[in-house]
Each structure stands twice: as structure tokens, then as C-alpha cells.
Amino acid sequence: MMLDRFYPIFDSAKWLERLLPLGIKLVQLRIKDMPEDILRDEIRNARDLCKLHDCTLVVNDYWQIALDEKCDFIHLGQEDLDHADIKAIRSAGLRIGISTHDRAELERAMALAPDYIALGPIYPTILKKMKWHEQGVEKLTKWRALIGDTPLIAIGGMNIDRAAGAFQAGADVVSAVTDITLNANPEARVKAWLEATR
């Protein structure tokens, strides 16, 4: 299945409610540190909003809730792989995207036959403290050669101007977070992203 080339990441269902009507077709819900009952509500709301707008929802980290709530796609970081029940995830038919930063992580991820591989941060990012420095677009080209037909996501410090270079280097999809959420006009920014990536 083809993934849309634009992949925004939001930390609440409110963002989805606000921006999915603009035509987003692939979105990640990435929430950190929230009581489980509220978290479950957020994931349910996001799932229902995505159904309504014919958008693919990817739930970050919380694979067990994603399973319970009949979501169909999860994103796992390398630490998540340590305790995720991949067998249960696969037998429930969930698709899986996995974060990678170096060759060892890439090999570990590819052994699980993921539905996409994410590489980042491509550029410096203000979003989270990372032990990984910027990877650069050249690394996308290396990853492209190593992963065959598996979709490749470029993430970290991405904006519309940088997207073209990421696509040229081999990315199938570009992911954006703060370029939208910190923008003075997120709606206009999403429209511009959609125009640039479709």
C-alpha cells in the first residue's frame, strides 16, 4: 500500500480535528506522559477522526492500546522494540513503522519486515534531545540502497524547502512536526505542504 508523501506528527487529537479536513492522508499521533484513560480517549478520537477523513492513523509507542482500540498502524522506536510483542502485533494485522539511526538499528528493524523505515533527524531538531546528531540527506540515499522497496521516511528538522532534497535523496515520505505546530498559521502551512508533496 502506498503511503502519502506528507506525514505530519501531532501530540493531540485536537490537532487532527483541526487539520485533517484540509486533506492530510497520513498522520501520526505521538503523545508522551499522559494518564492511560486520557491517552486511550485521545487514541480513540484520533482513530475515529481518521476514519471520517479517510486518513491513515499511525499510533506512536502505545501498541497495546492500538491493538485494543483496533487501530491499524503503529510506530515503534528502538527502545519500544525491546518490549513490544511483535508476534501479537503482526497476528492482529497491524502495520509497523520503525525508527532507525545507524546500521545496527536498521538491520534490527529490517529483520521485522516493517511497513516503513524512518531515518532521522535529517536536520537538527528542536523537538527532543537526541543522542543522534543530524544524519544529513546523503544518509537517506544510503538507506534507500539498503532497504529496497520498503518505504523510507525522512524526519527531523524538515520543512517544505528541505522536502525536495529529501525526496531527491531517496525518501518516499517527509515527516514534519514543529514546522506545522509552531507555525503562526498551521492551516496555511499544511496546505502548502500538501501542494508541495502531491
Which of these, 137, 128, 191, 182, lies nearest to 164 by C-alpha position?
137
**Catalytic position from the list 5, 95, 99, 189:** 99
Which of these, 126, 140, 130, 190, lies nearest to 168 by C-alpha position?
140
The Cα–Cα gap between 173 and 99 comes to 14
Answer yes or no: 30 catalytic.
Answer: yes
Answer yes or no: 99 catalytic.
Answer: yes
**Catalytic position from the list 18, 30, 144, 162:** 30
**Catalytic position from the list 32, 87, 128, 129:** 128
**175 HSE (CA, 13 A, CB side):** 29
The Cα–Cα gap between 9 and 193 comes to 13
Neighbour tally for 172: CB within 10 Å: 21
Q: Say if residue 83 is exposed, middle or buried (CB neighbours under 10 Å; 0-12, 13-18, 19+).
A: exposed
- Helices 137-147 and 160-169 cross at an angle (nearest 10°) of 40
Answer yes or no: 91 catalytic.
Answer: no
- Active site residue ranges: 30, 99, 128
